[in-house]
């Protein structure tokens, strides 16, 4: 552990600024985040930078920030997640089988992960600027039993897949394989991991599925507000090594997010806009 971390005084110095956001109210919009001091603002927008500060200088950081858009681009992407009369954002449909999915032509992204990984909470935080949208969050693992579709205007569709592992639907593999293999407008699969425990055996099945079918995917580490800094650094670096040595179709940069304090949420919104080709141009 000492080989990858700075001394304890560096951890205590940097992480209070990062984790104090849990009591700082809602940072759902970039306007609210921009009211913070610059250091705190960048901690919310780019959480991996706080990890870098406590890592040993010998750690390879080359894939930490491959996707590193400016604040102006993140702000522009947020507009896609704000509804209007001409840009309706809402739940539109559910399916219990891959061949029952709605016929939609616009780009899609799907979110998948183990039961209780925080998937529904993450999707709710992405849509936090949409009043009344029905994203159900339960304390009971395995709450999502269907493939749920959320249409973001004419820009793209966000798909909430059932959780795997505990209390997964019996036909989970068939349902998900059918969707992933046949959904030609699927631009990226977001594979969620609990940041405190990292990649598990059940996650390997999802990875193998994406690799087998040649589906581009990216890891998202959730609940970073609950992980101790040393644990988070360790899991982050282990995941980076896994991506480097065990995958072919995975984006090299994992994303760090907290649905509680919105750390990393704005960056993830921007990446979604980027991979769907819907990112508004900055004048």
Average pLDDT over residues 204-227: 94
What is the predicted pLDDT for the residue at 19? 43
Phi, psi angle pair for 126, to nearest 5°: -60, -35
Q: What is the pLDDT of the chain when averaged over all its residues?
A: 87
Average pLDDT over residues 165-179: 71
pLDDT at residue 213 greater than cutoff 80:
yes
- Chain-centroid distance, C-alpha 170: 26
More confident residue, 188 or 138: 188
pLDDT at residue 73 greater than cutoff 90:
yes
- Predicted confidence band at 5 (pLDDT cuts at 50, 70, 90)? low
Q: C-alpha distances in angstroms, 190 versus 21, 22, 136, 187, 222? A: 25, 24, 19, 10, 11
How many residues would you count in the chain?
283
Sign of the torsion formed by the C-alpha atoms of 168, 169, 170 and 172 = negative
Q: What percent of the chain has pLDDT over 70?
A: 84
Q: Is 35 exposed, middle or buried (0-12, 13-18, 19+ CB in 10 A)?
A: exposed
pLDDT at residue 164 greater than cutoff 90:
no
- Predicted confidence band at 170 (pLDDT cuts at 50, 70, 90)? low
Query: Which of these CATH numbers, 3.40.190.10, 3.40.50.300, 1.10.1040.10, 3.30.565.10, describes 8-275?
Result: 3.40.50.300
What is the predicted pLDDT for the residue at 145? 65
Alpha-carbon gap, residue 267 to 179, rounded angstroms = 26
What is the predicted pLDDT for the residue at 277? 97
pLDDT at residue 264 greater than cutoff 90:
yes
The DSSP call for residue 55 is B
Q: C-alpha distances in angstroms, 132 versus 90, 124, 136, 179, 190? A: 9, 11, 11, 28, 24
Q: What is the pLDDT of residues 17-67, one digit of tens each?
A: 444 444 444 799 999 999 999 999 999 999 999 999 888 889 999 999 999
What is the predicted pLDDT for the residue at 37? 93
Site of tokens 């599925």: 209
Produce one character per residue of 56-77: b if its CB has 16 or more CB atoms within 10 Å, e if not: eeeeeeeebeeeebebebbbbb
pTM of the model: 0.90
pLDDT at residue 72 greater than cutoff 90:
yes
More confident residue, 100 or 35: 35
pLDDT at residue 152 greater than cutoff 60:
yes
The beta strands (E) that lie in 39-95 are given as 89-95
Q: Is 163 exposed, middle or buried (0-12, 13-18, 19+ CB in 10 A)?
A: buried
What is the predicted pLDDT for the residue at 162? 86
**Facing residues of 222 across strands?**
194
More confident residue, 26 or 81: 81
Alpha-carbon gap, residue 210 to 247, rounded angstroms = 10
Residues in Cβ contact with 147 at an 8 Å cutoff, skipping those fewer than 6 apart: 94, 95, 96, 98, 101, 159, 160, 161, 162, 175, 179
């Amino acid at each position: 552990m000492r080989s990858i971390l700075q001394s304890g005084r560096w951890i205590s110095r940097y992480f209070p600024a990062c984790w104090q956001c849990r009591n700082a109210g809602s940072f759902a919009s970039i306007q609210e985040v921009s009211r913070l001091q610059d250091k705190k603002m960048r901690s919310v927008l780019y959480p991996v930078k706080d990890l870098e500060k406590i890592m040993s200088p010998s750690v390879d950081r080359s894939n930490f920030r491959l996707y590193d858009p400016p604040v102006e681009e993140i702000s522009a992407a947020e507009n896609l997640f704000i509804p209007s009369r001409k840009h309706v954002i809402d739940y539109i449909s559910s399916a219990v089988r891959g061949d029952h999915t709605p016929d939609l032509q616009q780009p899609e992204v799907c979110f998948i992960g183990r039961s209780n990984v925080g998937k529904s909470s993450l999707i709710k935080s992405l849509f936090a600027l949409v009043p009344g949208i029905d994203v159900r969050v339960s304390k009971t693992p395995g709450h999502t039993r269907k493939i749920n579709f959320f249409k973001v205007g004419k820009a793209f569709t966000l798909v909430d897949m059932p959780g795997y592992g505990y209390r997964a639907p019996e036909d989970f593999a068939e349902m998900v394989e059918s969707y992933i293999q046949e959904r030609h407008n699927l631009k990226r699969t977001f594979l969620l991991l609990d940041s405190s425990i990292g990649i598990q055996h059940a996650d390997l099945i999802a990875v193998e599925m994406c690799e087998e079918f040649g589906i581009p995917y990216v890891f998202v580490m959730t609940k970073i507000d609950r992980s101790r800094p040393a644990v988070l650094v360790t899991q982050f670096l282990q995941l980076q090594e896994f991506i480097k040595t065990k995958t072919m179709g995975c984006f090299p940069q994992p994303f760090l997010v907290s649905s509680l304090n919105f750390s990393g949420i704005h960056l993830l919104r921007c990446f979604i806009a980027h991979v769907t080709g819907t990112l508004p141009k900055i004048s």
